[in-house]
Amino acid sequence: MSAATIDFAEVGGSESKSLLEVFLAMVTPEGYKAELIEGEIIVTPPPDGDHERLISRINKQINRLGPDDVEIAGTKGLIVPTGRCIPDATFIWEEALRGQESWSKPEGVLMVLEVTSSRPQKDREQKRRGYAAAGIPLYLLVDRQRERVILHSEPRHEDYAVTAIAKPGDPSRSPSPSVSTWTPASCSEPVGSNVPHPETFRPAAAWLCQTADVSSLALIIGSRRAGPQ
């Protein structure tokens, strides 16, 4: 079963209700997730096993190599300028999610991860733009259909300025993006006490950049290619 785009009228939309109000009032079946992406409500069914396996392998890699002050959250709802997104995994500064509601701005978010499913273009285009517009420093995309691991970095002007790509199983090295100029937009102004000053973001972001090196992750993922073609 593939992801579906929901018509505004089908979910009770009217002139008196905004699309956001209708979206927030939706009740989805257990295991499904609903997102509001560039004016469309997209409902995605539970993922297949290979999708989850790839997420698990990446999380293990980052957990194994990473410092204690970076945490991993699954299915966290993020408020971005283009709507409401739920990444497959969200890598955050420790304590950044404490006290946050189910939908929150990406304060303290260092990287988001998506693994493509039945609608890969959503992850390649719309979500990329939304994450960049929100100032999220890194967007890691595992494109199963194209057999590519893609790391977007340096969000500027509502898109990412740097992209590194590797093919699963390819031993060649891809350059890691620079983090010297990163200042996540979500932390450009004073925020809650759980979120560090932007200057303290850089060491963790630099570490994530190294750990999420696309070539290394491509080799890990390439040991067993899987997913819809």
Q: Is the dihedral of CA 38, 228, 34, 95 positive or negative?
A: negative
Query: Packing angle between helix 49-65 and helix 214-222, nearest 10 degrees?
Result: 130
Q: How far is CA 110 from CA 25, 40, 60, 133, 183, in A?
A: 29, 26, 17, 14, 11
Question: Per-residue confidence of the chain (229 residues) as pLDDT tens digits?
Answer: 455 555 544 444 444 468 999 999 998 898 899 999 999 999 999 999 989 988 988 888 777 776 677 888 988 999 999 999 999 999 988 888 888 899 999 998 989 999 998 889 999 999 999 999 999 988 999 898 998 888 898 898 889 998 888 776 554 444 444 333 333 333 333 233 333 333 444 444 555 555 555 555 655 555 434 333 3
Q: Domain extents for the chain?
A: 1-46, 47-222
Q: The domain at 47-222 falls in which architecture?
A: Alpha-Beta Complex (3.90)
In sequence order, what are the residues at sequence separation of 6 or more whose Cβ sits closer than 8 angstroms to the Cβ of residue 73?
89, 90, 91, 92, 97
